[in-house]
Structure 1
Amino acid sequence: DETALPAIGRFLDERPLDAPAHVLVTVSDDAARQELALRDGDTITWVVAEPGDAAALDAAVRALPSPEGEGFVWAAAESRALLPVRRYLQRERKLPKDRVNITGYWHREEAAAPEAQGTADAAAQCPAEIPSPLPWLVARAALQLGVVDAVADTPGLSADA
């Protein structure tokens, strides 16, 4: 989704492979579109949908043609919106786990029913705040890179010190 546009842009700028990429981005409106550094053979699909719209994301992914040869999927979006995409790629497209990297890095919070009218008025004036994905991404990177294991095995870094 559009919250991943900086990561998508960086990937397209820095990727070492000369393989075509198909980029699918869901945005809340056309104004959120950005210029991306596409190479020959690359394509991009923009889907206008509400943030975290699982049905729109799933339909867009299913509409993509299957790549020739082995492909790789990287996806980043709202956690629950990625569940049908993950199931589709594993069960129907039969992509091996080592060819898929899906990260649900934010959670859509459903608005709770206000108990009083005053609460409803306040809620209408304050849009839902999306928490920063940074702490989660840092923890995920540390786990993937083995930093946690390396630190755990380092003498002198115990909780007792």
Structure 2
Amino acid sequence: MESQATARRVQRVRHELKVRDLTVARIESPSPNFVSVTFAGESLRDFVSDSFDDHVKFMIESSSAEPVRRDYTPRSFDRRAGELTLEFALHGQGAASDWARQARVGQKALIGGPRGSMIVPMDYDWHLLVGDATALPAIARRLEELPANAQVEVFVYLDDPADQRELPSAAQVHVHWCGSTDALVDAVRDWAVPAGEGFAWCAGEAASMAALRQVLLQDKGLPKEAARIAVYWKQGASDFHERLEG
């Protein structure tokens, strides 16, 4: 019955797919290896982002015939100001990371989506958030949105300890910073599943997400409807994204 209740509670909604022509309005650096870029434009008037787990396609011109397309989480959207913020993790070399390193106010970019939203209710007895640097913007957004009575456990792997930051939240949050993917998986393995109904959200590199899927769904016995485990990237592959919760 618990599995059925969880399945009913998570809602998936579809949005009209649009491509929006935006302009860089502001650039900030929340930590040494992250760049936060805020975009503005009239096309944001009907923009919708209902979930911290949403993704937009960030598109920039490239030397090939097709533009570069990468998935990014809307870190925040201010409807009144008409501003959308994306946060770029500057890990390794890549077209989107290279663009973010040299981004300047006034530059143009195209944003597509989100195509849909997976709305995870906030009234679970507990919440688990796990990921690497690429998942940190979504984790930070979720923590900002959760209410004061929420109980949240957070595990994050970062290459550089200098990127550790305050994660503001009204919720009751315990944050664990991990220094390797193995340490991340081991920390979640050592975590004791709390009583009650909860939801686990994990995102990051393919191999570590596969290991976390084993830990959470097999070893700890979480129902698959109570988890979303997403691959945001894979070693040696670009524009890679898949879900592993099934």
Q: Where on the TM-score scale, by shorter chain, does this alignment land: which range?
A: 0.5 to 0.7
> SS in structure 1 opposite 2:151?
coil
Matches within 5 A, 1:67-82: 67-82=194-209
- Partner Cα distance (2:219, 2:161) in 1: 31
> SS in structure 2 opposite 1:103?
strand
Going from structure 1 to structure 2, the CA distance change for 1:37 and 1:103 (only over 3 Å counts) comes to same
Match of residue 31 from structure 1 = 162
Match of residue 15 from structure 1 = 146
Q: Percent identity?
A: 37
User: Contact (CA 8 Å) 2:201, 2:228: kept in 1 or not?
Assistant: yes
By relative contact order (CA 8 Å, sep 6+), the higher-ranking structure is 2
- Identify unmatched segments of 5+ residues in structure 1: 110-129, 141-161
Matches within 5 A, 1:9-158: 9-15=140-146, 18-49=149-180, 53=181, 55-109=182-236, 131=238, 136=241
Going from structure 1 to structure 2, the CA distance change for 1:11 and 1:40 (only over 3 Å counts) comes to closer
What amino acid is aligned across from residue 107 of structure 1 in structure 2?
A: K
Deviation larger for 99-108 or 65-74: 65-74
User: Contact (CA 8 Å) 1:20, 1:39: kept in 2 or not?
Assistant: no
Higher helix fraction: Structure 1 or Structure 2?
1
Q: CA deviation at 1:38?
A: 3.2
What amino acid is aligned across from residue 96 of structure 1 in structure 2?
A: P
Q: Find runs of 4+ consecutive structure 1 residues off by over 3 angstroms.
A: 130-133
User: Contact (CA 8 Å) 2:148, 2:172: kept in 1 or not?
Assistant: no
- What TM-score do you get using the length of structure 1 for normalisation? 0.62
Match of residue 112 from structure 1 = none
Q: CA deviation at 1:26?
A: 0.5
- Partner Cα distance (2:148, 2:211) in 1: 28
User: Contact (CA 8 Å) 2:204, 2:232: kept in 1 or not?
Assistant: yes
Q: Once the two structures are superposed, what CA deviation does each residue of 1:96-116 show, in whole Å capped at 9, x if it has no partner?
A: 11100000110012xxxxxxx
Going from structure 1 to structure 2, the CA distance change for 1:81 and 1:44 (only over 3 Å counts) comes to same
What amino acid is aligned across from residue 234 of structure 2 in structure 1?
A: H
Is 1:3 matched with 2:130? no
> SS in structure 1 opposite 2:195?
coil
Q: CA deviation at 1:89?
A: 1.1
- Partner Cα distance (2:215, 2:135) in 1: 21
Aligned residues: 112
Task: Give the structure with higher Rg (CA).
Answer: 1
- Partner Cα distance (1:95, 1:36) in 2: 26
Q: CA deviation at 1:132?
A: 5.0
What amino acid is aligned across from residue 176 of structure 2 in structure 1?
A: T
Higher strand fraction: Structure 1 or Structure 2?
2
Report the RMSD for the aligned CA atoms in angstroms. 2.2
- Partner Cα distance (2:201, 2:212) in 1: 11
> SS in structure 1 opposite 2:172?
coil
Q: Once the two structures are superposed, what CA deviation does each residue of 1:76-110 show, in whole Å capped at 9, x if it has no partner?
A: 1101111111011111211111100000110012x
Match of residue 127 from structure 1 = none
